[in-house]
Amino acid sequence: MKPSEDRFDDLAEGDSAELAHTITTADVDHFVELSGDRNPVHLDSLYAARAGLGTPVVHGMLTAAFVSTVLGTMLPGEGTLWLSQRLDFLVPVRVGDTVRIRATITRASPGTRVVVLRTEGRNQRDQLVMDGEARVRVLRLAAGA
């Protein structure tokens, strides 16, 4: 099928898209540089051990950044404006884990152009590490110049 003029028309309940990313130490360093979040549970092996975590856990918001990427570049894709997000962090993610972030449309409302998606993150052992729901609006583009 060729894409519609209005990308909203191409969206259907049940559609899904997935992105996989292996979290590196560089990712964590970049997130710390960006946010300033130096909470030692993410950075300090001794502290993480004393806190009962075993080893440091990746910032939840770093994993959640990839939800932005799925929504904004895959489904619904470009022209997506984020309205709200719920995030449940269920299982710690650690450096070296490969996280698959999947978004699945649960509702698309033509009247408001609002799309609701379930957003799930799973690790390489298929554990649900992050669950949630996104509400986005798919912007309508005026004719180009």
In whole angstroms, the minimum distance from the beta carbon of 140 to a second copy comes to 7
| 96 touches 49 (CB < 8 A) | no
Round to whole Å and give the CA distance between 22 and 20: 7
Omega cis (within 30) before 40: no
Contact letters for a second copy, residues 24-63 (x by CB under 8 A) = ---x--xx-xxxxxxxxxx---xx--xxxx---x-xxxx-
Contact 58, 28 (CB under 8 A): yes
Residue 16 binding a second copy, by CB under 8 A = no
Our finding on whether 86 is near a second copy (CB under 8 A) is yes
Residues 6+ apart with CB under 8 A from 67: 85, 87, 101, 103, 119, 121, 132, 134
Neighbours of 49 (CB within 10 A): 12
- Does position 95 bind a second copy by CB under 8 A? no
Q: Is 145 in the site for a second copy (CB under 8 A)?
A: yes
Any contact of residue 141 with a second copy (CB under 8 A)?
yes
CB-wise, 9 or 37, nearer to a second copy?
Answer: 37
Residues that bind a second copy (CB under 8 A): 19, 27, 30-31, 33-42, 46-47, 50-53, 57, 59-62, 64-69, 71-73, 77-89, 139-145
